[in-house]
Every structure is written in C-alpha cells, then in structure tokens.
C-alpha cells in the first residue's frame, strides 16, 4: 500500500510538473492578446497611445475610432468618426467615394497627423489627405480635427495608386510617407516637417517594393526603425473577400528608409521579395494590412483577419511581435511556418 500510494504520488507530481511546463510553454508561444468589446468590423487598423488611452483608427465611414485603456477591452470612442463626410478636396478628386480607407495616425512636430486615403475599389483615381489635431482625447477643450487637404493623388494615367499611407521618421527625425497598392507597387515621398505635405525640395517618387506578376497584389506598407535597420511590412495577395481572402503580411529590411529592402533570403522587395510573417488558421483568414506599435520594450503587430465563425467579419487582431537573433521579426504562433 505504501508503495502504491508512493507511486501514485510520484505520478501526480510528474503530471503536475508536465502540466505546469505545458502551460508555461503555451503562455510563451501564445502572443495573441484576448480582445473584448468593439473589436469586430475593424478593417485596416492602426494603433496609437496618448496618456492612459489606446486608440485604434480604421477604415469606414468618416474614419471610425475605438478606445481602450488596457489593449484588451475596446469600445467606440467618443467624438467619432473623425469626419462627418469625405473632406472636400479629396472628394472632388475621387467622385463616387463613400468611405475613407486605411488611416495612419502618428505624432510629431507637436500635433497628431492622420493620413487617410480616398478611392474606389479597383481604381487608381485616388487621393491621400491629411488631418491634424492637438489631442486625441475627445473631452479635451482643444480637440478638433482640421483637414489640411490632399498630400498626393493619382489618376488613371499614373502607374501608382495613392492609398494606404504610412508616415515614418528617418534616423534624422525627418518625415517620409510610404504608400501604394497594386499597380507598380509601394512608393515613398519626402514630407515637409512643418506642413506634413510633400516636400518641395525633394519631389522624387521613390520605389520600395513591387510584384511583377499580375495582378501585382502588394499594398499597405508600414515601416518601423528597429536597431540598425528600417523594416518594411507589406500585405500580399487578395484582401476584402471575407473567408476567401488570401491576404497576408510580409517583411523586408534596409539600411536606409528609401531602401533597397530585401527579405531574409536576400531577395529584393522590388523583385517580389518578402518574408511571410502572418498565416491563416482554421478560424481567421486573410490576416493582413498591419501596423506595428511599440511600448515598454515590446512590439505589437496589429492587423485584421476574417472570422469564419462570424461569416467572414473583419476582426481586430493584436499580437506580440518578437525578434530572432538575426534581427528579423516573427509572431510566436507562426514561427515554425515562416
């Protein structure tokens, strides 16, 4: 009896030890933040923090905004959407547009800069506009979005598409704007630090990434600086088809903000290169159009995916972004697939 109980106790100890190890392993592997509240019907999200509040801006009528105090519980922010209607200058350039797409929010030069895009599906008659605000808190006395007009536009005769803007500061804290969707790929322009508009001293249209094969499905650039490199995240393949979407995020890096960007295999992103870092799973399809957020020594990747349980509803995803020893980003759940 003593031996039997002793053996049972040993087995229990071993099982408890294995269970503890299993839980620890899965806590380490799981990088997804559990989300509650208003995190569905979120498309093309971008995340920023002011004081104790996190804000998600995303595609929709007038640019909808969600707010959280902990990155987990989300609700519709007061004072939103940003616009009651499409701003006048952008609307004049793109007749027939109904929504504002793919906003980008950042803070520099004492103001919040909201870059937004106006277009219609499948067309490159598009415009990127800019709105500014001194605060993101709707209850503040100085809360007021001011539209600054169009920053750059494209038309049927152009080889690029002026949507999906993203502002990035270079090593000298100078602002640049990456953008682009399909056509000839991802582009970049230099910005004037005072106005947030295109620089008049450097009017070059830089090329960052492209795919040669039809339909040239590359878009939604987001650039961050990490250690000695600039990292360009882009989305490949088909968006906006619900659970049939094949969207996913890829990345490359460069020594300079204007490139050249290459992937982990050394393939140029101007020649279709890009290391894949998001993958679909049984529930969520088309994980793409990402942003990256950083605080407390932790990077987070933010994107949308289509929920098969809820008939393909675009759903907010926030995951911890890790870095390997060679300085490449990855998401823990997808590490063995990259």
Identify whether the C-beta of residue 284 lies closer than 8 Å to the C-beta of residue 247: no
Name 54's Cβ contacts closer than 8 Å, sequence gap at least 6: 47, 48, 67, 68, 69, 70, 71
147, 164, 219, 263: which one is catalytic?
219
Name 177's Cβ contacts closer than 8 Å, sequence gap at least 6: 115, 128, 151, 152, 165, 166, 167, 168, 188, 189, 191, 198
Burial zone of 228 (CB within 10 Å; 0-12 exposed, 13-18 middle, 19+ buried): exposed
> Radius of gyration of the chain from Cα atoms?
22
Map tokens 């219609």 to a residue. 120
Dihedral of the CA atoms 221, 304, 28, 67 (nearest 10)? 100
Please indicate whether residue 170 is annotated as part of the active site.
Answer: no
Cα separation, 60 vs 197, in Å, equals 23
44, 147, 164, 307: which one is catalytic?
44
Please indicate whether residue 44 is annotated as part of the active site.
Answer: yes
Q: Give the active site residues.
A: 44, 219
């Amino acid at each position: 009896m003593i031996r039997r109980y002793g053996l049972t106790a040993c087995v229990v100890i071993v099982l408890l030890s294995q269970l503890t190890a299993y839980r620890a392993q899965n806590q380490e592997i799981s990088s997804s933040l559990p989300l509650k509240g208003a995190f569905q019907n979120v498309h093309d999200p971008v995340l920023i923090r002011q004081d104790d509040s996190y804000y998600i801006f995303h595609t929709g009528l007038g640019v909808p905004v969600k707010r959280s105090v902990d990155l987990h519980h989300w609700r519709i922010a007061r004072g939103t959407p940003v616009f009651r209607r499409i701003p006048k200058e952008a609307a004049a350039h793109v007749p027939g547009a109904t929504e504002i797409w793919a906003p980008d929010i950042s803070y520099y030069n004492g103001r919040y800069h909201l870059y937004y895009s106006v277009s219609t599906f499948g067309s490159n008659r598009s415009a990127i506009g800019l709105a500014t605000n001194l605060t993101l808190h709707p209850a503040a006395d100085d809360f007021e979005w001011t539209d600054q007009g169009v920053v750059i536009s494209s038309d049927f005769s152009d080889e690029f598409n002026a949507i999906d803007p993203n502002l990035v500061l270079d090593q000298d804290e100078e602002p640049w704007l990456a953008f682009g969707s399909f056509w000839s790929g991802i582009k970049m322009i230099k910005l004037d630090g005072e106005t947030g508009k295109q620089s008049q001293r450097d009017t070059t249209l830089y090329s960052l990434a492209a795919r040669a094969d039809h339909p040239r499905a590359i878009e939604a650039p987001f650039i961050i600086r990490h250690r000695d490199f600039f990292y360009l995240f882009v989305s490949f393949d088909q968006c906006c088809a619900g659970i049939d979407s094949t969207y996913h995020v890829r990345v490359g890096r460069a020594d300079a903000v204007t490139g050249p960007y290459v992937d982990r295999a050394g393939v140029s992103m101007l020649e279709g290169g890009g290391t894949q870092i998001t993958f679909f799973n049984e529930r969520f399809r088309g994980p793409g159009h990402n942003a990256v957020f950083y605080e407390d020594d932790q990077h987070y990747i933010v994107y949308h995916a289509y929920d098969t349980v809820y008939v393909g509803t675009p759903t907010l995803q926030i995951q911890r972004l890790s870095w390997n020893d060679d300085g490449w980003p990855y998401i823990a759940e997808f590490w063995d697939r990259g």
